[in-house]
Amino acid sequence: MKNMKISLAIALALASATAGTAMAATKAEAAPVVAMASQDEINAVRAQLQALAERLQKLEQSNQDLAHENAALKAQGDKLATVQADGEKSRDSQSDAIAKTAAKAASSDWATRIKWNGDFRFRDERISRDLRTDQVRDRLRARVGFTAKVNDTMSVGARLATGADDPRSTNQTMGAADTGMGRRTIAFDQYYLNWKALDGLNVIGGRMPYPYWRSGQSLINDGDINPEGLAFNYQHGMFFANAYSFWMSERAAANFNPTTGVASSIGTDKQGTLYSGLQLGLKWAIDADTTLTAAAMYTDLGAGKGRIPYWFSGGSIPTTTTTTAVASACAVLPCTPTVTVTNTTVNDINKIIVAANGNSTDSAGGLLYDFHVMQVNFELASKIQGLPVSLWGDFAKNSGAHNGLNKAYTAGFMIGKASNPNTWEIGYAYEKLQKDAYFGAFVDSDFGAGATDTKGSIFRLGYAPAKNWTINATYFMNKLNNSGLSNVALQSSSLHMQDENYKRLQIDIGVKY
């Protein structure tokens, strides 16, 4: 359209110029008196034509440029349309992929909520004491467990472990007497529910790890025990509190009379035995490397006095059976006397006393005293030249015992920590555990042959050759029966000695996974 307008304008200009020239000629013929056009006028017309031609050339060039731009814009528009179409297809594909991934994630969500853990330990152990022959044995321990998140406030935990039914040990002795190459026992070691009831407050029920804080390497409590019951843990800032109640033995609340259909009166001998306590403590961060933790705890063994121990190997109270034969007298001779055989089964008092783990017992093997224990402990953890160092102490007193043998204390230190590859640790502790200072069912099973009325030293050395792999050595130098009152029923035998020497060496190879 623009080209046609330009061509029309040129044609009109030329026609105008031609017409002007013709009119001038006609006038000249008609009136000779008029002069012909001057040279300046001709030059002016030519200049106008030249300017008009140049303008036309510029317009043509601009028109060509616009045509190129239109072509480029069209190509770009086509390309954008293609990209948009590809993008829509890609978004559709991504949406499908996301939907499929979400479906897979939803179907496998249970796996992401479970955390597994476990360990394995091989132990070479040598025990030497005055009144028995030396014992050499190899032992295995294997544990595997998990914690599963139920929701944002609740989780469950469970763990399987080797060992028999001993609550203080998960060790399995290789080649144990009368078992040979038989398969080893494995059972539930933990099973509990953890509920975050409030911010900072957790409620735990079931068979659980110790729900209270223990200091350093203290052996007043055995580390393998997982008590059964209910516990509450609370923490706010540097303050923490723990309360718990463990079932030691459940008993019927009353005798039931099937004839009358009613229960008789409840007696204390029918009450279940509970081990309950409350702990209050502070954890103070002194600086970036130093932390001081201290706590006080009160524990009570309810309905425990007069009860026989709460665990026996094999699950039943040990007994002994005696057989007597009585021949009847003959009224008239000759005759054949009748022989009456009587089997009498009674509790084995010696084995029951041993099962009390050093605590004083009465003539029937029941606990002689109550246990109302006040316990205070602390631990100072810091670093020296980048090396972890800890110092700790633990003291307990049982106000339920009135024989003067009611105190326990232990203190020690640890330098280094065998955790990362080529790291090491070394430690020492001294412990004295009087006869009725602590409930024997909870004391460590390695120190002092697993009984109270003991004292002595513990030396520790550890090295980590690789990640999650440690080699440890622990040496016990203890003395048993410090009071001379332990195993009263055995005092007349050769198995009784005051301050009997007891030595125990353990070499452990352990891995975690």
Could you report how far apart the first and last alpha carbons of the chain are, in Å?
85
For the chain, the 3-state helix, strand and coil shares in percent, each to the nearest 5, are: 25, 40, 35
pLDDT digits (tens, 9 = 90+) for 128-160: 999 889 999 999 999 999 999 999 999 999 999
pLDDT score of 490: 53
d(C-alpha 460, C-alpha 512), whole Å? 19
Q: Which amino acid is at 145?
A: G
Backbone φ and ψ for 54, nearest 5 degrees, come out as: -65, -40
- Whether the CB-CB separation of 422 and 245 falls below 8 Å is answered with no
Token pair for residue 492? 């007349």
Query: Cβ atoms within 10 A of the Cβ of 188, count?
Result: 13
- Superfamily classification of domain 110-250+272-319+350-512: Porin (2.40.160.10)
pLDDT score of 434: 98
- Closest Cα partner for 440 from 245, 221, 250, 274? 221
Task: Kindly give the parts of the chain with pLDDT less than 70.
Answer: 1-37, 87, 90, 102-108, 177-180, 252-270, 487-495
pLDDT digits (tens, 9 = 90+) for 331-366: 777 777 777 888 888 888 888 888 999 999 998 889
DSSP 39-61: HHHHHHHHHHHHHHHHHHHHHHH
pLDDT score of 264: 45
pLDDT score of 180: 66
- Whether the CB-CB separation of 433 and 442 falls below 8 Å is answered with no
Domain ranges of the chain: 2-26+41-107, 110-250+272-319+350-512
pLDDT score of 78: 77
- Cα of 237 vs its chain's centroid, Å: 21
Rg (CA), the chain: 49
- Closest Cα partner for 126 from 135, 115, 117? 135
- Whether the CB-CB separation of 476 and 485 falls below 8 Å is answered with no
The 3-class SS string of 256-301 reads: EECCCCEECCCCHHHCCEEEEEEEEEEEEECCCCCEEEEEEEEEEE
Q: Which residues pair with 344 in a beta bridge?
A: 322
pLDDT score of 263: 47
d(C-alpha 461, C-alpha 505), whole Å? 12
d(C-alpha 486, C-alpha 451), whole Å? 10
